[in-house]
Structure 1
């Protein structure tokens, strides 16, 4: 048995103060009407646009420092905010304002034979801790989702986005105060290194839920060290499988989009699997298309040979490549004998995020959707659609790859719990 080192006392004190303030704020936020919450979200969006110049300037400091420290291009892309991206963050808040309020929704209910009326209703979680890496847009999304779902949030962003997060949170807190709402509905846990994050993870009784969002190391650390309940947002080693019965033109478009549309995000495809029966026709075209978009291919012997026919020099697969979340313009490629082999490959190397099949064979599609164990399973569609906005329920707090409470893109309902309300007129139990 391993023993966990307790967090630093100073870090514990800082988190305790933040969580206590957040708890007080959460009680006020939980009682807000939808009109009040939506007005606050609109005010926060306006404030982001008003402060866009200062936010972009702070972000430029982070990006410059990240480049000096050798952050990958994928991480730099995630980190970077320009005025268009700030505007997109503001629009995400406005989108949230247009969504139904989950708080108070009746999940189920009935009247018992003795006249008792019972109903299960959605209620806020309370205080939600968010631990994430170089994604300053998550700061906005988490704050907005927390407010709309009646929660207070404590945000622990990565050190690479420290200046950006400070600027964003200061803007959001000013907007809340201007609406007469508690600033401590949005809190930033700034500095303190891993000790501060660990104190947040272990603030059981002060924090109701922790959600990690980032790379495999961050998620593993939170899951293993936290004593606060965790919703695990897993890494995305997502596959596109091109079946023997695929429309190859469609398969080419889906593969290119899944890999190159935005390679640094978790729903980008990391591995291409191709049925042997269509590999000779499909892979030279796919290799040329992907290489033309700047993608480096890491391929097995058969796929390398087909890529060479198109003049593309693919690198040989090495141990660990098939389990890599590349988060960049790189992709693993393998030829498989049949659907069974593709399913076996996904079982071994998939992370339960998003898996796509391209096929015109309805039986193959049914097997894929039935047998693949993932949060999202695509048929003839890009993996890039696994996203709260694309699914139609607005900004998301993350994509859960676990199976309890929430799975897949997590929107407003996933940030609530439920309670039972029982109303009677004097009934007693016999």
Structure 2
């Protein structure tokens, strides 16, 4: 049914210096599951807070990622995100996505597991040799996924200080000015263009070489598409995992009984990773709106053609109707699939890689560092400002 448009709520709700899910989400799920919200920039949007509605919007082909003419995408920052294939619909999105799909199959990712295990083990050895306290972010959470994604793509790991800064141009909401975002994006594209050119004349056994050959030999794909895909994979390929490793550890430190269950039975680590992905609301707020291609009812309200809907993934993953005792962390939970990696055509391409890295991280940290704990009070942790994801910039830890 159609309803009178209410006054929009200022959005996002979550704070950037905690992993707590704002209590307003629970109220909205119970009283106003499709709420009108207004972000700092762009149009108003509907916010789908329940699991069924969020999953429906993310997965139904009647919703598009392409911004309709005359619409201004609701967003946190002044700059519209350079989202590449995330701003496309099938079949165009599928055409580009399949270029990288083979690199992220479960089989392909498993071939990288031993690399991840060796890197993680070496990083913890260095931590132990140095002795506590150690910053978990710089000593472990950052170098592990960076090394793995660089190995996959064929990017020099030693160049990380360069592309880590430039990646912020793709991942910043309010932390950078539009001019700085454009500068960083241009730098990363130029960097990747140089590497792709090198792989064209001197191919190696890596994903960049495969993409370089596609660029040269398959006119179904433009050079710009290959460049955007390559840069996007590098930027996103380490950021989420880098954020979630400290988030996982902090959450388990705050739930010692659940940490003990994992230590006692490491076989449940894959299950624990899924539960932590469900439980932790990584995003500061929802991004990447879906636009209704036609009038369509969602959660009891009529979304008119062209209107934007934001899927509140963090809220959806705490929906009691989908996950009994949803606000309780249970590392042995066996309920239905979370949408922490999104859903539908834009389900996270790198989900298998992220899962593997997070499994290796938990296994190594909990297996080798007894009594892992914070070395500072919780309110002394430093958090990143101005981004889309909630993560710590420093996390001093101790053990033993």
TM-score, length basis structure 2: 0.25
Structure number with higher strand proportion: 1
Of structures 1 and 2, the one scoring higher in RCO (CA 8 A, sep 6+) is 2
> Could you say which structure has the larger radius of gyration?
1
> Quick check: which one's helix share is greater?
2
